[in-house]
Structure 1
């Protein structure tokens, strides 16, 4: 079925005139007649009753007009939607995020982005840094908020530094160190140390181990939970101590005390995206650049103990 023939049929039906349809379509009347004849031949029905003075739809033509208008409208909508998708104004945007690091800013950002691009369906996935890296490789997320990833993947992933999160000591609220206003690394030596699993956040783990090495301290790493909530639960229920980013206080932290360190250790939060971003990711990045002060919005509100 020729799409042009459908549009010609609709024009003739609406105006009940071959000559008027030719004028509106900027063609000649003979071309209009050819289109209608070809359509009638293909369908095997007469669409119009016509003579030199009169053009009217047959009963078959009335039925076919309803369908023809729906087909043309659907095709126009399909064209419009395809253009919106290509422009990054419609479609799906998949975001991976660290819950503890993003809880204070991501909901507000997503709400405002939805107002800016209401035709984009934003899907969010709680993921560690390692899980986000795998998701980028698999093509299952478009944007990620996490700690730095292995920069052997620079050809695949681009990044923007957002903020630096200070490291805190965390102990249970009955621990010997719980009432200290400030703690040093040497205070940790007598106690088993819990660190977030290296395979889930290589940068965080290696930063902490490197600081111990610089101060000639050999920590007694007791366990490496794969989730921050599990880490807090373990600390709250034992005499082990842990070093965590301050943003972890956004999680459930009952029976835990967070103590500043007497040396400044920071871990970065970054936004990541593919080297060749999807159209919706490009829309997100453009919106962030034009409408969001990322450094200010993502700064961790954890400056006091």
Structure 2
């Protein structure tokens, strides 16, 4: 039994007419009849009942048609998989992200990506913006989720959103009035990112504090957002961080207080090389 026998059988079973089936297959009717007869002989069953006026499937023929349709469906699926592999729609997608990104959103997008490209393996790398830029330029990352500024002629930049800043204090601290907030935090030790790790964040912190009339005393330097917030929760100091983190770390015992009168924000971006034609990367960019 060869694949052509199954193809011929399916066509006759669809048309229920040897003449029309032969025309669809671009062969003469007698050779088609011989191929069907060979198939029936090999199976040891009649697949069709034939008369001068009509052709009909037998019970065995109807069952065999379902099985043949399943074979061709599986073959088509295999062809699609092979094309995906050939078109680099499988393999690895390397994604960089900053610790302050809302990771639940990233997880949701990766779940959807898995449904579209089931053979893609995703690798996630938590990196500061400066390190991500270098990795993207060198091809060690396919895409980065980072914060502006991104000074690189090699990378294409796409804005995701603008993120204002909020003061973060232990949950026991109740502050509402803006003047009261400034007075409270200027006399408290600050917990913040190391300047070499996140220079842009450091500049933003200084700008905000200058607008509030003081210079912060950074006592604890940490390179991870979660660790900064845990130290605040423990009562070791205060910090100023992007507002989007409030949703991500809602379970920590800290208060996020808006800075409504200070219009300083940070821009969250996607960065990638436009020369990278990976289809899964394109999908990720369009859907994040």
Q: Distance in 2 between matches of 1:111 and 1:197?
A: 33
Distance change in 2, residues 1:180/1:92 (3 Å): same
Residue 242 of structure 1 is matched in structure 2 by 239
Residue 147 of structure 1 is matched in structure 2 by 147
Alpha-carbon distance, 1:237 to partner: 2.1
Alpha-carbon distance, 1:107 to partner: 1.2
Distance change in 2, residues 1:283/1:173 (3 Å): closer
Alpha-carbon distance, 1:102 to partner: 2.8
Residue 166 of structure 1 is matched in structure 2 by 164
Q: Does the CA-based 8 Å contact 2:99-2:225 persist in structure 1?
A: no
Alpha-carbon distance, 1:214 to partner: 4.4
Q: Distance in 1 between matches of 2:239 and 2:178?
A: 12
**3-state SS, counterpart of residue 212 of structure 1:** helix
Question: In the TM superposition, what are the counterparts of 1:109-148 in structure 2 within 5 Å?
Answer: 109-148=109-148
Q: Does the CA-based 8 Å contact 2:163-2:268 persist in structure 1?
A: yes
Equivalent position to 1:186, from 182, 185, 210: 182
Alpha-carbon distance, 1:239 to partner: 4.6
**1:274 pairs with 2:273:** yes
Equivalent position to 1:205, from 202, 206, 216: 202
Alpha-carbon distance, 1:84 to partner: 4.1
Distance change in 2, residues 1:288/1:135 (3 Å): closer
Alpha-carbon distance, 1:143 to partner: 0.7
Alpha-carbon distance, 1:99 to partner: 4.2
Question: In the TM superposition, what are the counterparts of 1:1-305 in structure 2 within 5 Å?
Answer: 84=84, 87-151=87-151, 154-174=152-172, 178-184=173-179, 186-187=182-183, 188-249=185-246, 250-251=248-249, 253-263=251-261, 264-277=263-276, 279-280=277-278, 282-286=279-283, 288-289=285-286, 292=287, 294=288
**3-state SS, counterpart of residue 224 of structure 1:** strand
Structure 1 residues not aligned, in runs of 5+: 1-76, 295-305
Q: Does the CA-based 8 Å contact 1:171-1:239 persist in structure 2?
A: no
* Coordinate RMSD, CA, aligned: 2.8
Structure 2 residues not aligned, in runs of 5+: 1-77
How many residues align structurally?
Answer: 206
- TM-score if structure 1 supplies the norm length? 0.59
**3-state SS, counterpart of residue 266 of structure 2:** strand
Alpha-carbon distance, 1:124 to partner: 1.7
Q: Does the CA-based 8 Å contact 2:171-2:255 persist in structure 1?
A: yes
Q: Distance in 1 between matches of 2:116 and 2:252?
A: 38
Q: Does the CA-based 8 Å contact 2:161-2:269 persist in structure 1?
A: yes
Distance change in 2, residues 1:86/1:198 (3 Å): farther
Q: Distance in 2 between matches of 1:238 and 1:119?
A: 46
Alpha-carbon distance, 1:206 to partner: 1.3
Residue 39 of structure 1 is matched in structure 2 by none
**3-state SS, counterpart of residue 244 of structure 2:** helix
**3-state SS, counterpart of residue 219 of structure 1:** coil
Q: Does the CA-based 8 Å contact 2:99-2:224 persist in structure 1?
A: no
Q: Distance in 1 between matches of 2:142 and 2:177?
A: 40
Alpha-carbon distance, 1:245 to partner: 1.1
Q: Deviations over 1:183-204 (max 9, x none)?
A: 4563321112222223232222
Q: Distance in 2 between matches of 1:222 and 1:236?
A: 15
**3-state SS, counterpart of residue 179 of structure 1:** coil
